[in-house]
Amino acid sequence: MTMAPHDPILPAGGRLMATAEAAGLIAAGRFLTVAGDEAQLRRLPHGNWIAGTSPYFMGPDGGLTSREQVFVSEVETFGLRPEIRFYDVTTLSRLCVDAPANGYTVIIIPAFSAVHSLYARNAPGFEEMFLKPVVGWVSGVHLDDLGSAVPAVVDGRSGAVETERAAVMHVPLPPDRYARLDIVNRMAQGQGSRIRFPATGFSADECHIDGVRANLADHLAGQDADLRRPLVADYCGAMVNVSIKGIDRAKRRVDFYAPVFEDVEYRLAAPAPAAAADDGAGTLAFSCNCVLNYIYDGLEGRTTGRFTGPVTFGEIAWLLLNQTLVYLTVERA
């Protein structure tokens, strides 16, 4: 039986599979998002898909690492046609302007690239940001390959592999559907010192701690702080994490996986009860989980319910996030 173009084959949220099976879905004309090792992504045929590199996944039987399999999520089209394109540092600010009036955008950004830095710093000010759902993730590499391999994304239409552009799929929805974007964050602001920074950036040395000028590296070292705990800002009740990459003691500098923003109040996180994922009444379209959750929480072999997908080096729910689970559902209007 021939299925209509909008009838999904894969389970909601996607599935881990062999590269050959993914190739069959591509050949059938399906619109897909894919995560996997670069060698496997290069084996896929041209078609309606975008991809990013990561060998870490959350499957139905738990977290696992694989260089041979790929995780594939199907985009339900409802008979409409998503648009696939690359964005670079000169065009990225138009991301939401180009997005459909009703629908959502999936974006995959290569870690450590100029487009990664630009998105992290400037996305809050992009025209029409927060008016249209933007979900996605930052691609990475096996942790053993840090320094020798480069995170990448792929435009499946041409098979082009890019390390300095973002791969994007704009997905329109019919009038009787809408996209809903949610964040699950088990961190909350602790009761410790209030920290503010004089400038936006991926690293910091001088800052203000409880209103007094101080060096953040010295402060964290003096407190013997657990660097697995991110800095957390409270954005009108939404907790946004900035994970700590490490401390350069020689330079008395702290490096982050996402930028801290100027004159925003941060505190070190206190573990909180995991926020319940509100499944709503819609169909799970996409989800991803942070590699820091995978490592710090020991998720290998452990499940996260129906929320399967790539394990990522940054999550995108409008903004660039850390140490979160992000998911998008398509709901009936």
Report pTM.
Answer: 0.91
**What's the N-to-C CA distance of the chain in angstroms?**
30
* Amino acid at residue number 62: G
Q: Give dist(CA 293, CA 265) in Å, integer.
A: 23
Identify the DSSP state of 197: B
- Would you write out the chain's pLDDT as a tens digit for each of its 333 residues? 334 445 677 888 899 999 999 999 999 999 999 999 999 999 999 999 999 999 999 998 899 999 999 999 999 999 999 999 999 999 999 999 999 999 999 999 999 999 999 999 999 999 999 999 999 999 999 999 988 999 999 999 999 999 999 999 999 999 999 999 999 998 889 999 999 999 999 999 999 999 999 999 999 999 899 999 999 998 877 888 999 999 999 999 999 998 899 989 999 998 666 555 555 557 899 999 999 999 999 999 998 888 999 999 999 999 999 999 999 999 998
C-alpha distance from residue 6 to each of 146, 159, 304 (Å): 39, 24, 27
